[in-house]
């Protein structure tokens, strides 16, 4: 499924055979970040549903009037399967990149993002946690209070810092350079992750990913990160930045996903827009489209 403003132009980049696997929806948008404005898929009593949360461009930083309508328009146009039920949660601001779930009762997030004053005030941390537990059927919410990436517009989205690879494994960004501006915060984040426990009261298996080499645009550092990978059925797509650290990150992720092929995707163009691979995509299980 590709949301675009010109389907004819998009088709030029695919063969006729490839086009058979595409759903092209011409809908006006503000930006490209499907992870954050896209519908979140869930199963309720075994039946498929989508949650449509409010999107205000990471706390009113940019325009979002079109992006905030995309899910409603896709549903109205019949893009989602007839079996999929639409749930309106537009009164709650939540981006897909702000939450990580193992699908088994645990959600991982960051305090700076979910508690940002320009998102869901005056709700408290406790109220937000109870809301998330109710709608997602969670048993625990793990909050990170440390960690950030320079150049990030999202207020520390979790999908740039630490990812749940399974119910007992977390891959995360590790900074070893004490002179790097991120060193102290990422070290504290690492300590927080080490303190977290699974629902079986066991420490998580932590897999460190290298801090990406600094990438700059107009003298500003961009939020390049290897944590922004995309998990698919048989493969994991990993952002790469033409660095010798690319192969290191991919080898580390082989440990987290031994039964999936690890494939690198050049994200140097994407990172110039302050996002990467996971940010620009949203997965849907079979039967949702």
**What's the Cα-to-Cα distance from 258 to each of 40, 127, 164, rounded to whole Å?**
26, 38, 15
Q: Which tokens sit at 71?
A: 């899910």
How do 47-54 and 85-93 pair as beta strands?
A: parallel
Question: For residue 251, what is the enclosing H or E element?
Answer: helix 245-256
Residues annotated as catalytic are: 279
**Helix (H/G/I), strand (E/B), else coil: 46:** coil
3-state secondary structure 87-139: EEEEEEECCHHHEEECCCCEEEEEHHHHCCCCCCCCCCHHHHHHHHHHHHCCC
**Helix (H/G/I), strand (E/B), else coil: 74:** helix
Cβ–Cβ under 8 Å, residues 277 and 267: yes
- Cα 96 off chain centre by: 5
**Helix (H/G/I), strand (E/B), else coil: 252:** helix
**What's the Cα-to-Cα distance from 191 to each of 132, 144, 149, 200, 280, rounded to whole Å?**
25, 10, 17, 20, 29
How do 85-93 and 215-217 pair as beta strands?
A: unpaired
Cβ–Cβ under 8 Å, residues 248 and 278: no
């Amino acid at each position: 499924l590709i949301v675009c403003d010109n389907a004819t132009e998009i088709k030029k980049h695919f063969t006729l055979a490839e086009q058979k696997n595409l759903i092209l929806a011409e809908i006006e948008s503000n930006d490209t970040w499907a992870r954050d404005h896209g519908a979140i898929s869930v199963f309720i009593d075994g039946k498929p549903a989508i949650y449509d949360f409010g999107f205000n461009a990471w706390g009113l930083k940019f325009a979002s009037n079109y992006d905030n309508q995309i899910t409603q328009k896709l549903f109205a146009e019949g893009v989602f399967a007839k079996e999929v039920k639409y749930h309106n949660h537009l009164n709650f601001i939540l981006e897909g990149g702000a939450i990580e779930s193992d699908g088994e009762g645990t959600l991982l997030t960051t305090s700076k993002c979910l508690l940002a004053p320009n998102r869901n005030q005056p709700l408290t941390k406790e109220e937000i946690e109870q809301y998330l537990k109710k709608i997602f059927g969670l048993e625990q919410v793990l909050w990170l209070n440390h960690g950030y990436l320079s150049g990030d517009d999202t207020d520390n989205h979790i999908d740039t810092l630490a990812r749940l690879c399974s119910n007992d494994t977390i891959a995360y960004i590790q900074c070893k350079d004490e002179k790097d501006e991120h060193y102290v915060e990422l070290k504290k984040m690492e300590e927080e992750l080490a303190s977290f426990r699974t629902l079986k009261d066991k420490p998580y298996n932590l897999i460190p990913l290298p801090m990406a080499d600094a990438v700059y645009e107009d003298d500003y550092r961009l939020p390049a990160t290897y944590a922004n990978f995309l998990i698919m059925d048989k493969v994991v797509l990993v952002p790469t930045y033409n660095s010798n650290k690319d192969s290191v990150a991919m080898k580390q992720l082989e440990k987290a996903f031994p039964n999936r092929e690890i494939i690198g995707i050049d994200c140097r163009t994407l990172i110039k827009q302050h996002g990467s691979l996971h940010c620009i995509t949203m997965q849907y299980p079979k039967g949702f489209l």
